Amino acid sequence: MSADRVDDVRAAYRGARALVLGGSGFIGRWVARALTSSGATVLVAVRDARHFTGIADAWSIDAEAHSMDALDESSITRAVGDADPDIVFNLTGYGVDRTETQADLMWRVNRDLVRQAASAMARRSSTTAWPHGPRFVHVGSALEYGRIEGVAKEDGPAEPHTEYGRSKLAGTIALRDVAEETGLLAVTVRAFTVFGPGEHPGRLLPTILRVARDGTIVRLSAGSQLRDFCYVEDVADGLLRLGISPTSPGEVVNLATGHLIPVREFAETASRVLGVPMDRLQFGAEPLREDEMRITGVDVERLEQLTGWRPPADLEHGLARAADFERRGA
């Protein structure tokens, strides 16, 4: 991707009103940060607006924060109406953290909120001055594919085997229905294994960072599972690119590097970058989970056709960026 193209993406958002639902979350804060650096007027809808102040400071975000109850339809509709956005990025979700296990909440957040927010956006006047809007970018999940074998393709089978995956697929379908009924330019972006600053403490990279700080030992599976790892800042970049790309209403796009590696390779590379002795990682000490995905590849052709870009697959560089952010705190 040329420097001119990168500048074009940033310029496209300059002055646009961009609403980030779930702006205090892992990916949401990086989207808000990218929008800030692009010169957009950034608004975030979060559960606790006061708590967001600390996140905004740490992630260099300049945004107007509004409280939103993800379980209250009127609160969701009001958040979209008050923001009067040109584009909405929906990063709100429930269930990706393994401590979030309430099935009812998964469906209300991962399906119902998507339909409610998209419907509110579709009611916006189409006379927005932003040449790309109004738009709705929703972040789905690789778990919508379930335990299919082979390459994950947007128009291929989606057979989720977890409650989270099923509720996320239902959100994708709900968004497609709203888009087809109203003509709203809405896209579901299926993210795969995203890593970087802001992850939940129980995930792999934060665990290895903790080992680097305190010298503990971490028990891991054999690490034979294949994953498409993508640095969070690159994911945010991809979401902004797709927000101005010529997508069809309700389209689904994979956002990944297209390069799978074993989890063990990720852990060993992270340990090398962070200076963690390999004997601190006890591979095989924990069993593989029975619900692991079985894909052998991720098709990113649609992403490349729409944006002329794909995230870099340079794992070591991404990990170095994450470590540098942690050291500098910004």
- Asked if pLDDT for residue 226 goes beyond 80, the answer is yes
Q: What is the pLDDT of residues 87-107, one digit of tens each?
A: 999 999 999 888 899 999 999
| pLDDT the model gives residue 291 | 77
Alpha-carbon dihedral angle through residues 66, 11, 34, 74, given to the nearest 10 degrees = 20
Residues 6+ apart with CB under 8 A from 56: 32, 62, 63, 65
User: What domains are there in the chain, each with its CATH number?
Assistant: 3-196+229-256+295-312 (3.40.50.720)
| pLDDT the model gives residue 1 | 43
Q: What is the pLDDT of residues 33-46, one digit of tens each?
A: 999 999 999 999 99
| pLDDT the model gives residue 127 | 59
| pLDDT the model gives residue 97 | 86
Stretch 238-263: mean pLDDT: 97
C-alpha span between 143 and 289 (Å, rounded): 14
Q: What is the pLDDT of residues 4-43, one digit of tens each?
A: 466 788 899 999 999 999 999 999 999 999 999 999 999 9
Q: Which residue has the higher pLDDT, 45 or 213?
A: 45
Alpha helices, DSSP H only, in the chain?
3-13, 26-37, 49-58, 73-83, 103-107, 113-122, 163-182, 204-214, 232-242, 263-274, 301-307, 315-328
